Each structure stands twice: as C-alpha cells, then as structure tokens.
Amino acid sequence: MAEQGQKANIIIKRVKKVAGGAHGGSWKVAYADLVTAMMAFFLLMWLLNMVPQEKKEQLASYFNDFSLFQNPGPSSQLLDSGGLGPPAVVVGSQDERPDVAIDRGGKEPSGGAGQDTGDLDGGKRLEAKRRAEAAAKADAAAKALEGQLEQALQKDVPELAGQVSVTQSNDKVRIEIMDKADRPLFDLGGVTLLPDAKRILAAVTDVIKKEGVKVAIEGHTDAYRYSGTYTNWDLSAGRALAARRMMIQQGLSPDQVAAVTGYADTRPYVPGNLYDPKNRRISLLLYRQPKPGEKAVGGVGGAGGAGGAGSPGADDGTGGVEKSKAVVTPKTPSVGDVLEQQIDNLYDRSTESQF
C-alpha cells in the first residue's frame, strides 16, 4: 500500500530550438548552384578553345554592326558622308575589325546604311532593265536585218533561193551561201568566184553597206582530199578571201570586215554526209558593233558556232549546221569516183545551157 501511495516521476524533455541549428540545408543548394555555374563556365571556355580561328572570326563578324564593306583595305579610307558632315575614317586592318568606324562629329546622313543598300539594289535593277531593253532592241534589229536580206535575195537572185539560208539568233544574223551539184559557187578545186556566187554576194553586200553592220567571213569545204601539199584548209581560206575581195569591190568598207577564216571540212553543214555539196559554202555572220561605252548584248567574240575561236559571235555552238544525232564518217571515195562525179556535173551544166 505504501508503494502504491508514492507518486510516479514524470520527466518532460524540452528541446530548445536555436536558429540555424545544425546549420540547416540551404547552403547545399547555393553550393550546387555555384558548382553548376563554374562547370558551365569552364565548359564554355573549353569549347571556345576548341573552335578553329576561322569560326571565331565568322562569329565575331556576325555580332559586329552591319557594314556594306565586307573586305576593306588595310589602310584608312574616307567614307563619303553625302555632304552632311565630315567623313568617317575606317580604323584598323582587315585582320582586326574592318567594320568599326569612328565618326569625327557632324550630323549623321539621313537614311544610313539602309539607304545605301537600297541605292545599290536599285542600281542593279536599273542595270538589269537597261540590259533587257538593249537585248530586246538588238533582237528586233537582227530580225529586221534578216527580213531585209531575204527581200534583197528574193528580188535579185530568186532562182538561187535554195542555195542561201538566212537565220537569226539573238542579236546576230547568219547567212549560208551553199554550193549545189549543178550550180557551184567556185571553179572546181579553185578559189575563183562563179557568176552565181558574185550575184549573191552583191545582193548581200548592198544590205550590209546600208545597215553598217560588221561581217565575219568563213570558208568551208567538203571532205574530198587533194593530193600534194594543197589542203582543204588552203582552199577554204582562199575562198573566204575571194569573197572578201568581191564584197570590197562592191563598196563594202574594209573596217566592216571583222574576220576572215577558213575551216576546211571541220564544220560541215550536213554532218551526216561530209561529201554533200552543201558543205562547200561561204558563211557570213552579221552583227552590230557596240557603240563607245555600250556593252555588247549577246557577246561579240568567243569560241563556238562556225565563228571559231576568236571570231565574232558564237551563237549556240552549232554554227547554223543541220543537227544530227550521230556523225558517221563515210569512206573516202577513190579518184575515179571524184572524176566521174565532176564529169557528170559538167555534162549536166552543158546540157542545161543547150536548152
């Protein structure tokens, strides 16, 4: 009973809370942020160190101010400020900062770089428009010249229309005066012009004199070979020179003759038959000489076509010849075959003259 009468001891434990006890856990978050930032910084530095110098320069130029001058000279240059203030001086070399400019006072020109860019674009558009107009005028003039030539040939030599081809391409006109089995242009194997060729050249020369255009004269032959040292190169060049002399005698100014060239049998009119009489021909390439300060529209010189290297006017590289998918080189005929063909031609001519 005595033991039951004793009171039990009650122990109360009180925890005294102190601010920052055990230092808390917020410092870990701050430390983690610091470590993350440092890691990102050193990673950035490492990446920049691994980038090539060329990429660095491109990156630096990207963040520079816009400038119209991408590659200024190493020396200082004066930039025209449009008269609204003193000019700015470009400082530095190309290896440094070519786009930095120091303005020495004065008012800034109105419009700025945007206006300069607009002026440049406008100038390009204007130049393109002028070129298009010049090309259209040249094309129209070439078409008109083609029409005049066809009218002159129909008027003066209508019976020889089958031996003359007039084509127009861009700003140039090509005339092909072709041989025919029964109506040759030259003596057999010679360079003497026959009456039919003279009549055609006379009609063409009158139009050339009137229009004042330039002319390039070309001589062509077939694939028949000659014995000895005389070749088709000599023959084609001689016939081209004979055509030039004939046109000069008709009153053509020597200054209008731009080139006289012989191509032998290298530029056939009928590629499928190198012995076709049409391959024996005189080609005239007509074009207008650009005026002083005027740019040529379609290009005057160059290789290609039947103009050859350095001669005026390559049209489309075909030289006005008939196109064929495959050029088959026939066998060279014998001397007997050549003589037989020429005798038949002479016989046909003599028979026609009798009637």
CATH number for 293: 3.30.1330.60
Provide the number of structural domains found in the chain: 1
Distances (CA, A) of 233 to 55, 193, 239, 261, 266: 59, 17, 10, 10, 9
Spatial separation of the C-alpha atoms in residues 286 and 257, rounded to whole Å? 10
In a domain, 159, yes or no: yes
Residue 328 belongs to a domain: yes
Q: Which residues of 276-311 are buried (b: 16+ CB within 10 A; e: fewer)?
A: bbbbbbbbbbbbbeeeeeeebbbbbeeebbbbbeeb
Asked whether residue 87 is domain-assigned, the answer is no
127: tokens are 């130049």
Residue 216: what pLDDT?
A: 93
Nearest Cα to Cα of residue 164 among 144, 152, 174, 178: 178
Whether 110 is covered by a domain: the verdict is no
pLDDT at 281: 92
Identify the segments of the chain with pLDDT beneath 70.
Answer: 1-5, 17-24, 65-122, 133-145, 147, 289-355
Structure tokens at 170: 């861009």
User: What burial class does residue 148 get, using C-beta atoms within 10 Å of its C-beta: 0-12 exposed, 13-18 middle, 19+ buried?
Assistant: middle
**CA gap 179, 190 in Å, rounded:** 13
Token readout for 177 is: 């005066």
Distance CA 93, CA 76 (A): 8
Residue 261 lies in a domain: yes
Q: Is residue 90 part of a domain?
A: no
Residue with tokens 């001086």: 89
User: Is residue 88 included in any domain, yes or no?
Assistant: no
Q: Does 28 map to a domain?
A: no
Predicted confidence at residue 297, as pLDDT, reads 41
Which DSSP string do the residues of 135-201 spell out, in sequence order? Answer: HHHHHHHHHHHHHHHHHHHHHH-GGGGGGEEEEEETTEEEEEEE--SSS-SB-TTS-PBPHHHHHHH
CA pair distance 269, 266, nearest whole angstrom: 10
What residues make up the domain containing 341?
130-354
Q: How far apart are CA 184 and CA 178, in angstroms?
A: 8
Do residues 67 and 99 make contact, with C-beta atoms less than 8 angstroms apart? yes
Cα maximum dimension of the chain? 178
pLDDT at 234: 92
Report how far apart, in Å, the C-alpha atoms of 29 and of each of 19, 35, 42, 245 are.
18, 10, 20, 102
